[in-house]
Structures are given as structure tokens and as C-alpha cells.
């Protein structure tokens, strides 16, 4: 068995690594925002895109983000790697980030909604939203809403939402969105990842039409794979399992490939409302294809955030 594993190891690793983004597209003169870009796949996505154009790291922990930005600047030679404070668990912070960005930057070409929380003990955001739903879905929903016009003005533009295979286990529980009646941290994560898929679907539908076809304005979602990252830090058991089975997990760089692919691949210029994994289209759960649920979630999200997005 040890000999077999020794021989098979490179092949297993290659399989685990999955697809790679092969696009060499440049982003000169273009602006990219990546949320949660100070660690994990967000940081690796930023590292790659920094070799192509200007990247804004939108992060809650600015000290960590500055360290990541310094590392990326030194490695790529690109000085246009900028850190901005963004706490997705606080709508005030989201609005302040958007206000400052819109005042300072005249264009935005790619928005990568990457940040996320997973397996949190029950807690709420500053606005009273259950943490997974608040950060993973509502925070990015509001951020996208606030930046949408700038994206439209800069088209061709792309919105990339990092979801997960976990969306297959999710349900949108409209009767208990904030988990006040019953709460399971694993299912809460699944529900929020399903919300990402439904948001992408409805957003793409609303962007469809003459403008989208002419300008190439797209919104797609993706599963990055099972990645060895800090995302499981709230669970001792998952952290332990992740260490034991790290050989069978993607590295953050491997996990970032589909995000990069959705952001830059030339062949996706007019592809919208889709879900990808390993740099290719992937199966979406029946709940993730339910247009009625997507429309209702959109409406409820607007209501919770106090916005009108028609």
C-alpha cells in the first residue's frame, strides 16, 4: 500500500487540484474589487489578478490586508494594489466603503464577492441578520447594489459570486431566515451558499436584455472546491479533519482558479447566470434553479436592507 500511494500520489494531487484558468487576459486600465482578499482563495485571486491590473482588497481586517497587499506588490511589481476597509457584517461599513470607492474611482470592471464565514456559532450582524446570511448573502447583495451603476458605466463588466457545492444542502427558510426558531451552523452555511446561487440567477435575469448583450455585463457563481483555508476556523472538528486530510484538499491557489476564470476568461464574455466548478459549468441543485424562490429572496433581501432595486 505505501508503494502504491507513493506512485499514485502525483496523480491524486493532480486530480484534487482540478481545473486551472489558462487565460492570459490583461486588465490594464481596469479596476477589480475582491472582498475578503487578505487570506485564502481571496488572496490568491488577488495575487493572480495583480499581475494583470489594478486590484482593491476589500477587507474587514485592514492590518492583515496591508500585509497581503505588501507581499503581492513586492511579488508582482504592481503598486496599484489598494486596501480598503469593508465589514460585510455591518451595512454602515458597506455603505461607507461604496461611498469612498465611488468618490475615488471612476470605473469598476470586475466585482468578486469572495468573502465568507462558515460554521459560526449562532450570532448576528450589526443589523440583526443571522451571521451566515448577513455576511455571505445580504452583505454582498447590498455591496453589488451600491456599485451596480459604476459597473454598468464601465461595461464590459463582470460580477463573480463565490458560492459552494454546499448549496445542494441549502434551503431558503423564509419563515425563519435568521435561525431564531432553529439553528444548525452547518445548514446555515448551506442556506447562505444557496442564496448566492439564487442571487446570481436573478441578477443575471435582470441584467439580460439589449444593454447586457451589447455591453457584455455578466454575473456568474462558482464552487471553488474543498480548499485548505481559514474558513473552517470556527469548528475544532473541521479544523482537525482539514489538517488530517490536507493532501486531498485544494491549496488556496488551486481553489482560486475558478474565481480567476470567471473574472477573466475570454470565452465567458457573454455567459451569464451560470455556475462553475473547476473552470467549467457545473450542476446546480433544483432549489438553486427555482426562479420563484430567487425572485422572492430578491424581494425579501431588499426589504431587510431597506433598499429599492427594480
* Residue 303: DSSP 8-state: H
Task: Name the percent of the chain lying above pLDDT 70.
Answer: 86
| pLDDT over threshold 90, residue 204 | yes
pLDDT band of 232, cuts 50, 70, 90: low
DSSP character string of 253-287:
HHHTHHHHHHHH-GGGTT--S-EEETTEE----GG
Nearest to 201 by CA among 129, 296, 115: 296
pTM score, two decimals? Answer: 0.91
pLDDT band of 250, cuts 50, 70, 90: confident
d(CA 287, CA 130): 21
Q: What's the whole-number mean pLDDT along residues 194-200?
A: 98
Task: Name the percent of the chain lying above pLDDT 90.
Answer: 81
| pLDDT over threshold 90, residue 249 | no
Q: What is the pLDDT of residue 5?
A: 47
Beta bridge partners, 281, equal: 276
Quick check: is 189 catalytic?
A: yes
Q: What's the whole-number mean pLDDT along residues 117-130?
A: 96
Q: What's the whole-number mean pLDDT along residues 96-100?
A: 98
Beta bridge partners, 82, equal: 56
- The overall average pLDDT reported for the chain is 91
Q: What's the whole-number mean pLDDT along residues 88-99?
A: 98
Say which of 15, 183, 189, 275 is annotated catalytic: 189
| Lookup: cell for 284 | 446546480
| pLDDT over threshold 80, residue 227 | no
| pLDDT over threshold 90, residue 243 | no
Name the fold adopted by 1-305.
Answer: Rossmann fold (3.40.50)
d(CA 303, CA 310): 12
Beta bridge partners, 221, equal: 161, 275
Q: What's the whole-number mean pLDDT along residues 70-90?
A: 98
Of residues 105 and 227, the one with the higher pLDDT is: 105
C-alpha distances in angstroms, 177 versus 67, 132, 295?
Answer: 36, 10, 15
- Going by their DSSP bridges, the two strands 280-281 and 157-162 should be labelled as unpaired
Amino acid at each position: 500500500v505505501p508503494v502504491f500511494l507513493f506512485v499514485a500520489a502525483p496523480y491524486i494531487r493532480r486530480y484534487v487540484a482540478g481545473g486551472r484558468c489558462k487565460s492570459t487576459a490583461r486588465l490594464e486600465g481596469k479596476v477589480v474589487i475582491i472582498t475578503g482578499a487578505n487570506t485564502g482563495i481571496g488572496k490568491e485571486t488577488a495575487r493572480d489578478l495583480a499581475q494583470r491590473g489594478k486590484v482593491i482588497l476589500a477587507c474587514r481586517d485592514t492590518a492583515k490586508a496591508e500585509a497581503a497587499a505588501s507581499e503581492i506588490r513586492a511579488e508582482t511589481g504592481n503598486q496599484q494594489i489598494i486596501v480598503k476597509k469593508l465589514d460585510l457584517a455591518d451595512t454602515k461599513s458597506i455603505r461607507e466603503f461604496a461611498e469612498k470607492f465611488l468618490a475615488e474611482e471612476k470605473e469598476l470592471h470586475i466585482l468578486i464577492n469572495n468573502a465568507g464565514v462558515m460554521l459560526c456559532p449562532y450570532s448576528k450582524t450589526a443589523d440583526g441578520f443571522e451571521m451566515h446570511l448577513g455576511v455571505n448573502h445580504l452583505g454582498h447583495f447590498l455591496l453589488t447594489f451600491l456599485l451596480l451603476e459604476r459597473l454598468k458605466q464601465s461595461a464590459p463588466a463582470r460580477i463573480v459570486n463565490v458560492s459552494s457545492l454546499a448549496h445542494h444542502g441549502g434551503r431558503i427558510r423564509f419563515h425563519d431566515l435568521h435561525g431564531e426558531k432553529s439553528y444548525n451552523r452547518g445548514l446555515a452555511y448551506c442556506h447562505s451558499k444557496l442564496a448566492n446561487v439564487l442571487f446570481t440567477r436573478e441578477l443575471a435575469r435582470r441584467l439580460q436584455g439589449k444593454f447586457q448583450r451589447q455591453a457584455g455585463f455578466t454575473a456568474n457563481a462558482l464552487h471553488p472546491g474543498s480548499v485548505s483555508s481559514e474558513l473552517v476556523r470556527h469548528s475544532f472538528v473541521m479544523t482537525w479533519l482539514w489538517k488530517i486530510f490536507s493532501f486531498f484538499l485544494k491549496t488556496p491557489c488551486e481553489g482560486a482558479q475558478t474565481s480567476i476564470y470567471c473574472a477573466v476568461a475570454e470565452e465567458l464574455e457573454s455567459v451569464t447566470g451560470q455556475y462553475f466548478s473547476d473552470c467549467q459549468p457545473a450542476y446546480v441543485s433544483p432549489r438553486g434553479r427555482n426562479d420563484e424562490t430567487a425572485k422572492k429572496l430578491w424581494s425579501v433581501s431588499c426589504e431587510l436592507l431597506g433598499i429599492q432595486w427594480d
